[in-house]
Amino acid sequence: MEATSGSNFRMIDVSPKAVTHRRSLAEGRIYLSPLVFEKVSNRTLPKGDALVLAEVAGIMAAKNTALLLPLCHPLPIESVQVQCELEPEARAVRVRCEVSTSAKTGVEMEALVGVQAALLCIYDLSKGTDPVIRIGDVTLLEKEGGKSGFWQHPQHSERVMKERQPTPQPHLDHMRVAIVTISDSCYEGSADDTSGSWLVERCEASGAMISKQYLVPDEVDSIRQVVMEAVETHRADLILTTGGTGLSPRDITPEALKGIWDREVPGFGELLRSSGARHTPLAFLSRSGAGMIGSSLVIMLPGSLKAVKEGLEALLPLLPHAFHVTRGGRHEHQS
Could you give phi then psi for residue 293, rounded to 5 degrees? -120, 105
Fold entry, domain 176-326:
Molybdenum Cofactor Biosythetic Enzyme; Chain A (3.40.980)
Q: Is the domain defined by 20-155 classed in CATH 3.40.228.10?
A: no
**Which residues face 241 on adjacent strands?**
180, 300
Distance CA 59, CA 44 (A): 23
159: pLDDT strictly greater than 50: no
* Residue 335 confidence (pLDDT): 38
* Residue 52 confidence (pLDDT): 95
* Residue 296 confidence (pLDDT): 95
When the pLDDT of each residue in the chain is averaged and rounded to a whole number, the result is: 90
The pLDDT of 123-129, averaged and rounded, is 95
CA angle, 188 as apex, 183 and 189 as ends, to 5°?
Answer: 100
177: pLDDT strictly greater than 50: yes
Residues 177, 215, 265, 289, Cα dihedral to 10°:
140
* Residue 7 confidence (pLDDT): 67
Answer yes or no: 124 catalytic.
yes
Which residue in 243, 254, 258, 301 sits closest to 276, CA to CA?
301
Domain boundaries, the chain: 20-155, 176-326
Ranking 15-24, 69-78, 164-173, 199-208 by mean pLDDT, the lowest is 164-173
Choice among 124, 130, 137, 184 that is catalytic: 124
202: pLDDT strictly greater than 50: yes
158: pLDDT strictly greater than 80: no
119: pLDDT strictly greater than 70: yes
Tell me how long the chain is: 335
Task: Please state the three-class secondary structure of the chain as a single string.
Answer: CCCCCCCCCCCCCCCCCCCEEEEEEEEEEEECCHHHHHHHHHCCCCCCCHHHHHHHHHHHHHHCHHHHCCCCCCCCCCEEEEEEEEEHHHCEEEEEEEEEEEECCCCHHHHHHHHHHHHHHHHHHHCCCCCCCEEEEEEEEEEECCCCCEEECCCCCHHHHHHHCCCCCCCCCCCEEEEEEECHHHHHCCCCCHHHHHHHHHHHHCCCEEEEEEEECCCHHHHHHHHHHHHHCCCCCEEEEECCCCCCCCCCHHHHHHCCCCEECHHHHHHHHHHHCCCCHHHHHCCCEEEEECCEEEEEECCCHHHHHHHHHHHHHHHHHHHHHHCCCCCCCCC
* Residue 149 confidence (pLDDT): 72
pTM for this prediction: 0.60
Which residue in 12, 267, 251, 246 sits closest to 146, CA to CA?
12
CA angle, 80 as apex, 115 and 159 as ends, to 5°?
Answer: 65
Distance CA 47, CA 128 (A): 9
16 — pLDDT class (breaks 50, 70, 90): confident
Query: What's the pLDDT tens digit per position in 310-331?
Result: 899 889 999 999 998 888 777 6
Give Cα separations from 67 to 64, 70, 74, 75, 148 (angstroms): 5, 7, 8, 11, 26
